[in-house]
Amino acid sequence: MIRIISILVGAFFSAALLWSFGTGAASFIKEPPAATAEKLFHEHPKAIHFASDGAFGKFDNQQLQRGFKVYKEVCANCHALKHVAFRDLKAIGYNDDEVKAIAKGFQIPVYNPATGELNTREGLPTDRFPPVLYAGQGNPPDLSLITKARHGGGAYVASLLTGYAEQAGYKNAKGQELLKLFPDAKTPDGLYFNPYFANLNLAMPAPLAADDQVTYTDGTKATVAQMSEDVSAFLIWTAEPKLDKRKQTGWAVVGFLLFATALAYMAYRNIWAGKKGH
């Protein structure tokens, strides 16, 4: 009896699920969701290769230092790196004196509980990057984990930085013109059109608007595309500074497991050899 009841209950829920699916599918066919500007004109990140990509990828310290220079001279005006300490920069090739000099260039807020005053002091290697007091529109996100928080990671950041465009006459890959299909989708005043951003408009103006905004000490040409990729690579590192070590550990573990598997198989063959069938 219990088995029959269980079968009937299962059949009921299966039928309800099929009915719900059929109703939803029929509704979707009869009344498909309306196309929106975001659906038709939002671009996926470009296919950009970084040195750290893949199982064998490793960070390029020279690129990371270029990316840090872009962050420091351009991005740090609005965006913080609250999860990164100055001494962490030693991992990308800076020595102790260079780290001290970098930290000294930042002002660290210090609260005095006795007087209630908020003062500042020069940074120390043990300090984290200080918060940014931004007076403009919006609330710029902290960039420490931005490549983990956004689909596409570093490729998304680089695409966004190079993706600003004039909205008038903008067409997608299918040749559809945005403002002809959606006249009401015009970018509001104070915002900037960028098809790589989820809703196509964002408050941040193009931070890398021209070549040579920074001067690279290694002689690399500081084009907008190069600066965008370099700072994106740096932000991949800030989000996962132990990536290289994690990959090394992973390969060591895989090698050990393969060795242990082979050893276990040989032990099995040795112990049970000639004993099958008895």
Q: What confidence tens digit (pLDDT) does each residue in 166-206 have?
A: 999 999 988 999 999 899 989 999 899 999 999 999 999 99
Q: Is residue 20 part of a domain?
A: no
Q: Is residue 59 part of a domain?
A: yes
Task: Write 98-104 long-range contacts (CB < 8 A, 24+).
Answer: 99/125, 100/124, 100/125, 102/72, 103/127
**Is the full-model pTM beyond 0.85?**
no
Question: Is 151 flagged in the annotation as binding?
Answer: no
- Residue 39: pLDDT above 70? yes
Q: Is residue 76 part of a domain?
A: yes
pLDDT bracket for residue 33 (50, 70, 90): low
Q: Is residue 111 part of a domain?
A: no
Question: Is 42 flagged in the annotation as binding?
Answer: no
pLDDT attached to residue 242: 94
Q: Is residue 238 part of a domain?
A: yes
Q: Is residue 210 part of a domain?
A: yes
Question: Is 78 flagged in the annotation as binding?
Answer: yes
Q: Is residue 141 part of a domain?
A: yes
Supply φ then ψ for residue 70, to 5 degrees.
-65, -45
CATH of the domain at 192: 1.10.760.10
What tokens appear for 163 in the block?
């993706």
Q: Is residue 107 part of a domain?
A: no
- For residue 257, CA distances in Å to 223, 253, 271 come to 46, 6, 21
Question: Is 204 flagged in the annotation as binding?
Answer: yes
pLDDT attached to residue 222: 97
* Domain extent at residue 211: 38-84+128-245
Number of domains in the chain: 1
In sequence order, which residues have a C-beta less than 8 Å from that of residue 221 and are 6 or more positions away? Answer: 211
In sequence order, which residues have a C-beta less than 8 Å from that of residue 186 and are 6 or more positions away? Answer: 167, 179
